[in-house]
Structure 1
Amino acid sequence: MSKPRKQIILGHYLGGVNHSTVWSDPDAGSQIDFATFRHAAQAAERGKFDFFFLAEGLALRERQGEIFDQDVIGRPDAITVLTALAAVTEHLGLIATVNATFNEPYELARQLATLDHLSGGRAGWNIVTSSDAFTGGNFRRGGFLDRADRYTRAEEFLAAARQLWDSWADDDIVADKESGQFLRRPDAGSFAFSGRQFDISGRFTVPRSPQGQPVILQAGVSSEGREFAAGGGPDAIFSPYHTLAEAQAFYRDIRQRSGVPGRPKVLPGASFVLGDTEADAIERHREITYAQISGRGAQVLLETVWNRDLSAFDPDGPLPDVDPDTEAPPFIQGRARIHQNAPETVAQWREIAEANKYTLRELAIHVFGRTEFVGTPTQVADRLDAFVQSDGSDGFIIGSHLTPAGIDEFVDRVVPLLQERGSLRTEYEGTTLRDNLGLPALTGQVTPARV
């Protein structure tokens, strides 16, 4: 019996807090004008995407004590933007990246439950953590949280938020036919949570939302992150792997750890470049890539691992012949530390560069790029579909080099091909984000207080 065809999950991320956007393009839009977000979200909904996703930037990044001149300034608050988008979309999920280190469960649970109500059940939360003292300086908590405690806090944060969302049952507010008024169960919203990170109690003010709970996403592929992802935490996890073999290994690992069929969903970030011929697409991809990662940008990306000034090294020359500085304070402030063991990472990169004859810039493009689909619309549809059907992922979070109109090309030229082969919906199946992702609705019972 043949394996049933998987339905591809598609999210759209709007580039802006990384090196993916080509700001020099004359068609590049503002990162704070609402028209930018409206265009991108409505295009994604036209393409029957599952959700629209916003990353988070809590601090202006610095290099050697000065704001990096090629970085993004003025990125607004994600939940506020998504609340506005709820009014101009009907089916698209709305997912905000929010840091569990620098927020509080009651406040964030209330904001997300409100967004879920206002959107009719389309809210989601991408939970991230931080041990970055530089970013922490913007908050009362500062940078006190040790790296080893990040997931402890995240797990407790999510448990507390879920208890708050579950403190109202589905039938806690009912209409009284005789009086014409709405009645509430006397203890509706009551909660008490006590743990290492949080000790809170009271009444949650927002009744149970349409999904029961917002959809939870998480990024992180360390052993701790994988355990958190597979242990009932998130509904979906971001995968950073570019090649099918690496992606399949990660997919199998998450499924084995979870033991729950189809959960969590695995969704790598991806980009695309289209051309009328494959040769056209390859040439266009080369031009776009070199515009995304300039020589200066490549130096800065590698400085995050070398932790030293690399401006004296030719971007089109060999890798720096110096070792990373593991003793100095962070040379780049405000970027997430993806590579924890700098000497080991640099050794691996040297092997990659030597094997492929990469320059400094070419290595930066290789190691900091996303899963890329380059070719004609038919080739991109074929490769994307094959990746999912081969269990490299359950779908992709698609971005473009051009904000906000870059996604239009994918929607107009690739989406119809995926729909023709039965791998992508032609209409939305349900009314909530959980419906469209194939996740169970969380309904019904009040969670007992954890004391």
Structure 2
Amino acid sequence: MSKPLKQIHLAAHFPGVNNTTVWSDPRAGSHIEFSSFVRFAQTAERAKFDFLFLAEGLRLREQGGSIYDLDVVGRPDTFTVLAALAAVTDRLGLTGTINSTFNEPYEVARQFASLDHLSGGRAAWNVVTSWDAFTGENFRRGGFLPQGERYSRAREFLATANELFDSWHGDEIIADRAAGAFLRDAEAGAFVHQGQHFDIHGRFNVPRSPQGRPVVFQAGDSDEGREFAAADADAIFSRYSGLEEGRAFYTDVKSRLARYGRRHDQLLILPAATFVLGDTDTEARELAHEVRRQQVSGATALKHLEFVWNRDLSAYDPDGPLPEIDPDVSEEHIARGRAQVRMYRDPLATARAWRELAAAHHWSIRDLVIETGNRQAFVGTPDTVARTIDDFVQSDASDGFILVPHITPGGLDEFADKVVPLLQERGVFRTEYEGTTLRDHLGLAHPDDARDERAAS
């Protein structure tokens, strides 16, 4: 008997602070005006996507002592945007990145429970940590948290938030049209938590929401991050672009679930992916090349190289060879608050490898940054892209993809109109929503049902 086809999960990422967005394109819209978010979200819902995803930035980025001015900044607060979108969408999930290092469990739990109520059960939380004291300078406690304790706090933060969500049960509140809502159980919302990072007690004042808890996403790729996802997350983002790399990540993370009493299908693997469509595969490749040149200007390429070299490289020609001088490996880094600082743990080894690549392919600085900075990208005709996405999912390299268009808010339209119908024809993507909550879309059990299942096993 042949293996049944897996259903593909698709989501849409409204790009934030990054170099994916080609903001110089005349078709690019505002990242602040609400109309941009509305168009993007309603396109995703029209295409029957699972959810919309917003990243978050807690501080303007700096490099060489100046504000980094080569990509888009200024997007409004995540909770504000998602709550507003709840009013102009009906089924689309609403996922926000909220930091566990500098926030507090009670506040975040209250915000997510409220969003889940306002949206009718469509809230999701991408749990992230901040590793640098630079971002911490914006907050009361500054950079107090050692890097090694980030996941310890994150795990306890999520566990504490779950205790708050679970402090209510469905039968503890009575809705009365005349009197409003009142408690049936005097202990509803009561909580006590004592731990390494949090010592709180009181009453949680938001009743149990439709999903019980928001869907939980996690983005870490370290061993700690993978373990955190296997224990507590409903989905994990993947950065692996190749089929074999994707399969290896998929197998590794899914294999960790059993030790936490979880099934293979209780954690979804969802890489981010860009896309470029054309009438022919050749035309699409040519368009993709143009897009990458727009995304990585000469100035952007030099700034990116400075992440590794830790030196001012503004005097170098971005269309010329890589610097012969070695990176500065001192503790003081030229780029403050940049995620890329973590990606290059051995700058000297990275520089050697990049020089070898550049020499072998006759790449300039800009060529190198373009070629080494690629994320998963689907390039081709709509049929080619649909077939490739399906191949990845059916081959267990992912459970779906979070699509990141290079133009917002209209960049998702072509995918929705041309690729989604082909996936539907293949029988691997829904033609209508079958449920009302994000858990329904993702095939995830309600927390109460999942808890009962674990207890029974």
Structure 2: gaps (5+ residues): 453-457
Contact 1:166 1:445 (C-alpha < 8 Å) held by counterparts: no
TM-score (norm 2): 0.94
Partner amino acid, structure 1, of 2:241: H
Contact 2:21 2:72 (C-alpha < 8 Å) held by counterparts: no
Moved more, 3-12 or 77-86: 3-12
Quote the offset at 1:306 in angstroms: 2.3
How big is each residue's C-alpha offset from its partner over 1:328-367, in whole Å with a ceiling of 9 and x where there is no partner?
A: 4121122213415133433443444344443222221223
Quote the offset at 1:143 in angstroms: 1.2
Change (3 A) 1:395 1:356: farther
- 1:44-443 alignment runs, 5 A limit: 44-174=44-174, 182-230=182-230, 232-259=231-258, 260-336=263-339, 337-343=341-347, 344-443=349-448
Q: When the two structures are aligned, how many residues end up with a matched partner?
A: 446
Change (3 A) 1:104 1:180: closer
Change (3 A) 1:39 1:175: closer
Moved more, 162-171 or 302-311: 302-311
Contact 1:169 1:446 (C-alpha < 8 Å) held by counterparts: no
Contact 2:173 2:181 (C-alpha < 8 Å) held by counterparts: no
Provide the C-alpha distance between the structure 2 equivalents of 1:176 and 1:68, rounded to a whole number of angstroms.
Answer: 54
* Aligned residue number for residue 26 of structure 2: 26
Quote the offset at 1:444 in angstroms: 7.4
Contact 1:305 1:339 (C-alpha < 8 Å) held by counterparts: no
Partner amino acid, structure 1, of 2:415: F
User: Which SS does the other structure have where 1:406 is aligned?
Assistant: helix
Provide the C-alpha distance between the structure 2 equivalents of 1:176 and 1:35, rounded to a whole number of angstroms.
Answer: 37
Provide the C-alpha distance between the structure 2 equivalents of 1:258 and 1:389, rounded to a whole number of angstroms.
Answer: 20
Contact 2:16 2:56 (C-alpha < 8 Å) held by counterparts: no
Provide the C-alpha distance between the structure 2 equivalents of 1:401 and 1:176, rounded to a whole number of angstroms.
Answer: 49
Partner amino acid, structure 2, of 1:188: A
Provide the C-alpha distance between the structure 1 equivalents of 2:301 and 2:159, rounded to a whole number of angstroms.
Answer: 40
Quote the offset at 1:177 in angstroms: 11
Contact 2:16 2:54 (C-alpha < 8 Å) held by counterparts: no
* Aligned residue number for residue 455 of structure 2: none
Contact 1:45 1:92 (C-alpha < 8 Å) held by counterparts: yes
Change (3 A) 1:301 1:116: same
Change (3 A) 1:347 1:167: farther
Q: Which runs of 4+ in 1 moved over 6 A?
A: 176-181, 444-447
Provide the C-alpha distance between the structure 1 equivalents of 2:397 and 2:103, rounded to a whole number of angstroms.
Answer: 33
Partner amino acid, structure 2, of 1:244: L
How big is each residue's C-alpha offset from its partner over 1:192-217, in whole Å with a ceiling of 9 and x where there is no partner?
A: 11111111111000001100100010
How big is each residue's C-alpha offset from its partner over 1:370-389, in whole Å with a ceiling of 9 and x where there is no partner?
A: 20000011001011111111
How big is each residue's C-alpha offset from its partner over 1:61-96, in whole Å with a ceiling of 9 and x where there is no partner?
A: 111111122132311101110000000000000000
Instruction: Give the superposed CA RMSD.
Output: 2.0
User: Which SS does the other structure have where 1:443 is aligned?
Assistant: helix
Partner amino acid, structure 2, of 1:316: D
Moved more, 407-416 or 361-370: 361-370
Quote the offset at 1:181 in angstroms: 6.9
Quote the offset at 1:22 in angstroms: 0.5
Quote the offset at 1:242 in angstroms: 1.0
User: Which SS does the other structure have where 1:262 is aligned?
Assistant: helix
Contact 1:125 1:214 (C-alpha < 8 Å) held by counterparts: yes
User: Which SS does the other structure have where 1:201 is aligned?
Assistant: strand
TM-score (norm 1): 0.95
Provide the C-alpha distance between the structure 2 equivalents of 1:297 and 1:136, rounded to a whole number of angstroms.
Answer: 26
Higher helix share: 2
Contact 1:168 1:446 (C-alpha < 8 Å) held by counterparts: no
Provide the C-alpha distance between the structure 1 equivalents of 2:39 and 2:2, rounded to a whole number of angstroms.
Answer: 40
Partner amino acid, structure 2, of 1:341: R
Change (3 A) 1:270 1:221: same
Q: Percent same amino acid among aligned pairs?
A: 59
Change (3 A) 1:181 1:99: closer
Provide the C-alpha distance between the structure 2 equivalents of 1:242 and 1:350, rounded to a whole number of angstroms.
Answer: 22
User: Which SS does the other structure have where 2:32 is aligned?
Assistant: coil
Contact 1:240 1:370 (C-alpha < 8 Å) held by counterparts: yes
Moved more, 319-328 or 383-392: 319-328
Contact 2:378 2:385 (C-alpha < 8 Å) held by counterparts: yes
Provide the C-alpha distance between the structure 1 equivalents of 2:417 and 2:391, rounded to a whole number of angstroms.
Answer: 20
Contact 1:61 1:71 (C-alpha < 8 Å) held by counterparts: no
Contact 2:23 2:72 (C-alpha < 8 Å) held by counterparts: no
How big is each residue's C-alpha offset from its partner over 1:377-424, in whole Å with a ceiling of 9 and x where there is no partner?
A: 100101111111111100000011101100001000100000100111
